[in-house]
Chain A
Amino acid sequence: MARFLIRRLVLLVAVLFAVTFLGFSAMNFLGDPLFNVVGLMAELDCEGIEAGTVEDTSMDRARSDCETVAAARAEYHLDRPVPVRYVLWVSDLATGDFGTSFQNDQPVSEIIREKLPETLILLVMAQIVSLGVAIPWGVFAAYRANRAFDRTSTVVSFGLLSVPNFALAVVLLYLLALRWQVFPSAYESDTAVGLVFSMILPAVTLGLPLAASYQRLLRTDLITTLQEDFVHMARAKGLPPMRIMFRHALRPSMFSVVTVFGVSTGAMIGGSLVVEQIFGIPGIGREIVTAVVRDDFPVVLAIVMLVACAFVIINFMVDLLYGWLDPRVRAR
């Protein structure tokens, strides 16, 4: 177990390193970071101004601008090569300094602290929706495999899997918020209840397609499990069908769903970018879109790292969950 944990930890560190280095290099090579900090001042030929070889209409302003540029260079270590800058960024990170946003000088850690809860609420609610829908759905479909309910649900799940998140959001928004006005069309944060209520539509948008894919996996695995001897044994013990489905067959059939649960976290975070945009939720999904468009790379990097971290940790927890699902895994 200890070795397993250590291996996971090494993997986590390696993945974080790779992900941040990739993001860091991309942001540095693909755009000009100096321009993003100081704007048009980055165009100034400061060396020329210092040496007096370049004439400007107002040398004083040019000089002070150049000082600003120099300060920015120093602050963000822009005069050093990219790998060095990366190392400096990482060492800042180690001291808990995520850097400051280029846009408004707000510390990145503060931005994250502010925006993360909304996104977490959204993701958790979405997973609750998807599992809450998928488990009973998958169980009933498998119980009457290839009957009318199962066939219908195959069609429905295909439909759900084929609606892009943003399209589903638009359709739900139109039907449930505008047409029938069941749910609010935008984010509310006045009260906790109002917050959760306004998050229902976004959570359903994220959760339903996932529910469809969980359902399909669960159904397939359940049908396999139902042919196992221990299910026959449970029937021979005279237990009622639904008790057998939920108490005996469900847990050994959850492997695929749990695996996808881990993998789908990434997809869900991706989906949250779009959904937060449409429903106006001030979470990190919306923040990263804005930050990317504005080349605000401390913010982008921090969020990318956060997300990668979450992805690795969730998949790690999924590995632990296998042990709960099947005690035989624990023994190894």
Chain B
Amino acid sequence: MSSSQPGGITRRFLPHSRLGAPALLIAGFLGLAVVIVLTVWGQSIAGFDPGKQNLTDRLLPPGADGHLLGTDKLGKDIFARVAAGFRWSIPVALLATAISASIGTTIGVIAGWNEGWIRSSLSRFMEVAISFPYLVLAVAIIGVVGRGFFALSLSLGLVAWVSFARVIYAETRRVKEREYVMAARLMGMGALRIILTYIGRGIRPTLVVMCAFIFADLLVAEAGLSFLGLGASLRDPTWGNMLSDSRINLFEAPWMMYGPASAVILTVLTANMIGDGLLQYWGRGTHQQ
């Protein structure tokens, strides 16, 4: 019902800001550099093993005994754990984004390219699927699949595809009406080849931007699920687990929250800025009617 205006969805889904593409992209790639540095060298910077506990050094404040961000309740170095979290949380969100992008793009392109009953039934299906609050469904799936890296990626991937599908569907329809696609069809080019070349090229910018945004959403979702104790395994160094651990000692050891919270914010902000920047760089106008 709300899909009657394809352009409307795109716009609705990708609220843009007026910060200017260059500034956003520069800031975004700076953030990305920091994320990469922390992912690759974070643990060596920390100088501690993220899994190594030391019960005599528990709840040390930042700076004490060389612990940059302090220690947690088992005496593990928080900086090392936050750094390990980059290697845990980001791959989960990336894998989930890849899963949902593959499913979503496939369904979206099929629905957008075909006409008649395939389109109407698929778009109907997407409308129903978007009604699912994705965290609710992810929690339900985790109840069956269990916790851990792959279970988490799979659950998140299986629930986020519909966001891709709706946008790609609209984009495919738009690109399909372009002259060059029409011309290719008239020249007798096969549907699959047109989809792979022209449609693929046409929807790529949207796809990239969507990936950045969905990645950010899924990263927060991962943290949320782990925070609820339904995401990563209990002892995995994810930001959600660390934030969940910080609750008990929030009063005496607030630093347990600072590290993981900053890491989430940094990563999500980076992804959002890159997504926003690209969106504006590729031109706001293209997505509007």
Chain A complexes with chain B? no
Interface residues of A (CB under 8 A from B): none
